[in-house]
Amino acid sequence: MSIATATTAATPPTALQATPPRTLNYAQAAALALEEAMRDDPSVVALGEDLGRGGVFGQYRDSAGLPLARRFGGERIIDTPISEAAIVGAAVGMALAGLRPVVELRVIDFALCAIDELVNQAAKNRFMFGGQGRVPLVARMPIGLWGCSAAQHSQSLEAWFTHIPGLTVVAPSTPQDNYALLHAALNSRDPVVYLEHKELWGLRGEVALAGAHTDAAELGKAAVRREGSDLTVVTWSRTVHEALAAAETASDAGIDVEVIDLRTLWPWDRDAVFASARKTGRVLVAHEAVQVSGFGAEIAASVAEHTEARVARLGAPRIPVGYGVLESEARVERDRIGQAIARLAERPRGVD
């Protein structure tokens, strides 16, 4: 079964109307969620570069391919100058004034120009002023490798944002989740760092439409994408698909792999991960980000502290992403995941 049509979608059956699912790609699913939110709530606005033409990846175009700006106008779909600090700073002010801004930063690499606004302003305002101000801001920051885009357009920096108190961090892996979790992020009253993968925009799948958007998805809930009994792979975003492919190959060697898609990195679903770790006794955390100080280390340490499972990590080497053929050195894909699964499976459970 394709992950895009898996039954572990983010939207619970109780939240759905009888409307048949729609087949959408990852970008269209997010655009539909934003279109519905803007239709239902006039306080939702979007701002960033290239939004007027529909976004760099088409994530601001409706199902007919037309830019959302044609429907909502330039006062709600706002094209901005090339200044990430100004974009996020304006959005923080909008949020404090009662709007629900969606910030488009094109790629996460460019978010580094707005770190002060995100870390020192958006994340901390609620705590510094005793809850008098809230910042219901969604910052869309596409992560990950993007073919032949080299070192300044291919980073996965999710660990930077999970480290910051006050930020929720979301990383959808399917069209269904990109629809449902964006609705959930838009319904949050606190800032959300929303991480879509640059190489998933064209991924197609069935998307079940939510009837009551407030119940469409719950942040902090993982999905078991594949059940297994011998070993658990914990991952997120595009690496979910690579892990599933590696798990199928491992099954040919007699290794039954369970694959957990975290979907939300903060808060992350500790109960789901610990339950799987206790069941299988072996946990591999795999991610596309650099392994050194990556978020996988937090998961691995927590599993080691709370279960008896053996733990291993797999991430990218600590190198800038190269161009062309050099790019493959930074990719964490099915073959490398499969090799890590095989190594961990060889180690007896409960034996040092």
Q: Indicate the domain borders of the chain.
A: 3-215, 223-346
CATH of 3-215, one of 3.30.10.20, 3.40.50.970, 3.10.20.30, 1.20.1300.10: 3.40.50.970
Confidence at residue 247, expressed as pLDDT on a 0 to 100 scale? 98
**Residues in contact with 145: Cβ distance below 8 Å, sequence separation at least 6, in sequence order:** 154, 156, 198, 199, 288, 321, 327, 330, 331
Residue 281: CA count within 13 A, CB half-sphere = 12
Weakest-pLDDT range from 39-53, 131-145, 194-208, 212-226: 212-226
State yes or no: pLDDT of 348 exceeds 90. no
3-state secondary structure of 22: strand
State yes or no: pLDDT of 71 exceeds 70. yes
Confidence at residue 6, expressed as pLDDT on a 0 to 100 scale? 39
Q: Using CA atoms, how far apart are residues 35 and 63, in angstroms rounded to an integer?
A: 10
Confidence at residue 14, expressed as pLDDT on a 0 to 100 scale? 42
Q: Using CA atoms, how far apart are residues 108 and 193, in angstroms rounded to an integer?
A: 10
From the list 27, 1, 10, 6, the residue with the least C-alpha distance to 262 is: 10
Angle at Cα 51 formed by Cα 193 and Cα 20, nearest 5°? 75
- The secondary structure of 132-146 as a DSSP string is S-----EEE--BS--
State yes or no: pLDDT of 4 exceeds 60. no
Confidence at residue 8, expressed as pLDDT on a 0 to 100 scale? 37
Confidence at residue 78, expressed as pLDDT on a 0 to 100 scale? 96
Q: Stretch 130-151: mean pLDDT, rounded?
A: 89
Q: pLDDT above 90 covers what percent of the chain?
A: 78
Structure tokens at 227: 């059940």
Q: Stretch 50-68: mean pLDDT, rounded?
A: 90
The 10s digit of each residue's pLDDT in 72-117 is 999 999 999 999 999 999 999 999 999 999 999 988 999 999 999 9
Contact 192, 185 (CB under 8 A): yes
Q: Does 223-346 match 3-215 at the fold level? A: yes
Confidence at residue 10, expressed as pLDDT on a 0 to 100 scale? 40
State yes or no: pLDDT of 140 exceeds 70. yes
Instruction: Answer whether CATH 3.40.50.920 is correct for domain 223-346.
Output: yes
- Other Cβ atoms less than 10 A from the Cβ of 339: the count is 12
* Single-letter code of the amino acid located at 280: T
Confidence at residue 138, expressed as pLDDT on a 0 to 100 scale? 98
3-state secondary structure of 20: coil
Confidence at residue 321, expressed as pLDDT on a 0 to 100 scale? 87
State yes or no: pLDDT of 58 exceeds 50. yes
Which residue in the list 153, 163, 197, 241 is annotated as catalytic? 153
Give the global pTM. Answer: 0.90
Beta strand residue intervals within the chain, DSSP E = 22-25, 44-48, 77-79, 100-104, 138-140, 168-170, 192-194, 204-207, 223-226, 231-235, 257-261, 264-266, 282-290, 310-316
Q: How confident is the model at residue 216 (pLDDT cuts 50, 70, 90)?
A: low
State yes or no: pLDDT of 267 exceeds 60. yes
Q: Stretch 214-227: mean pLDDT, rounded?
A: 83
Which position has the higher pLDDT, 240 or 1?
A: 240
Span between the terminal Cα atoms of the chain, in Å:
36
Structure tokens at 44: 């939702």
Q: Using CA atoms, how far apart are residues 224 and 226, in angstroms rounded to an integer?
A: 6
State yes or no: pLDDT of 13 exceeds 50. no
State yes or no: pLDDT of 33 exceeds 80. yes
Backbone angles phi, psi at 27, to 5 degrees: -70, -45
Query: In the annotation, is 306 catalytic?
Result: no
